[in-house]
Amino acid sequence: MSFSFPVPKRLKVLITLRGQQSIKVSIRPLPLLLGLSGLMAIPLGWAGSALYTLHQNQSQLSASAAEVLQELEELDAEVDQLRQRAGLPAKPSQASQPSVPGGKGGILIKPKAPTKLNITQQQLKEAKARLPLLNSRLQQQVKPALEKTLQQEADRYAAQPQGKPTKGLSPISSDFGLRPGPFGGPPEIHNGIDLLGEYGQPIYATAKGAVAYAGYDGGYGYHVILKHRNGYETLYAHLSKLAVTPKAKVQRGQLIGYMGSTGRSSGVHLHYTILRHQKAIDPKPYMLSERLSR
């Protein structure tokens, strides 16, 4: 069942003023009602638009907060990797406090369900609290320890012989280990390798260290012994001329002498030996190292 009420085309309104003549006004009700409904729609539309904009802003804020927390998690993981690289112990886990048995009680208060806005605010508050702690760990613990570790590694690398003591092509004329005698006779142990080159060719230090010996003897002729860290020593023999003096500090790649044929030598070459804890080792693996830039 439905009811409908006819809307008259015109209404006549009589306005009576005290002491004055009455006024008759003719009104068309349909346009008036339509106008009033349009005026009412304006604030309703504005309110809907404002609510939609607020919802969009809140969604964007929530997404940004989640993204910031994700980046913090990744940064925290990277800081932990740096801690391990620096040799620091792993950070203590934040375990929850165990429940202690015993009497418990109190009135029942149900927690309020968190709203989306409250969750976003909590996320931003958590991020704001974690950033100073993370920065403090990085600056006060990880960074100094990592710098120390990297410096120690750099020192170890600088002190370890790397690459050839010559530049350019220098064929090996005599290998490490057992070899025939260079002047005939029975085989002998060769405690290094012999590199061929031209007379006066520059010879370079293969690691950072100090000159332990620079002089002449009958077997090696003019030769240089460099002492390095971690038990390493290097020997450069049969030189024609020395370019360093005893106790001098040298860097990798620094000129220390010139190729020759002094001492017990059958021709121009460089005898090169590497010792580790006073024991001669094969120099070839150190000469072929890919870590050398030369």
Confidence class of residue 214 from pLDDT cuts 50, 70 and 90? very high
Question: Which range has the worst mean pLDDT, 38-42, 194-198, 240-244?
Answer: 38-42
Q: Which pTM value belongs to this model?
A: 0.55
Average pLDDT, the chain: 77
- HSE of 241, CA atoms in CB hemisphere, 13 A: 7
Query: Has residue 119 been placed in a domain?
Result: no
* Of 70, 88, 112, the domain-final residue: 70
Which residue from 202, 197, 175 is spatially nearest to 287, judged by alpha carbons?
Answer: 175
Which residue from 246, 253, 259 is spatially nearest to 214, judged by alpha carbons?
Answer: 246
The rounded distance, in Å, linking the Cα atoms of 47 and 207 is 77
Query: Has residue 111 been placed in a domain?
Result: no
Query: Has residue 268 been placed in a domain?
Result: yes
Query: Has residue 40 been placed in a domain?
Result: yes
Q: Which pLDDT value is given to residue 251?
A: 95
**Domains of the chain: total:** 2
User: pLDDT by residue (tens digit) across 67-82?
Assistant: 676 766 766 776 776 7
Q: Which pLDDT value is given to residue 90?
A: 65
* Of 28, 48, 70, the domain-final residue: 70
Q: Which pLDDT value is given to residue 165?
A: 97
Query: Has residue 132 been placed in a domain?
Result: no
Question: Rounded mean pLDDT of 184-207?
Answer: 92
Please list the residues that pair with 190 across neighbouring strands.
Answer: 177
DSSP string across 68-128: HHHHHHHHHHHHHHHHHHTTPPPPPP-PPPPPPPS-------PPPPPPHHHHHHHHHHHHH
Query: Has residue 152 been placed in a domain?
Result: no
User: What is the CATH number for 182?
Assistant: 2.70.70.10
Domain boundaries, position 34:
11-70
* Of 70, 100, 120, the domain-final residue: 70
Query: Has residue 63 been placed in a domain?
Result: yes
Query: Has residue 127 been placed in a domain?
Result: no
Q: Which pLDDT value is given to residue 188?
A: 85
User: pLDDT by residue (tens digit) across 234-276?
Assistant: 999 999 999 999 999 999 999 999 999 999 998 999 999 999 9
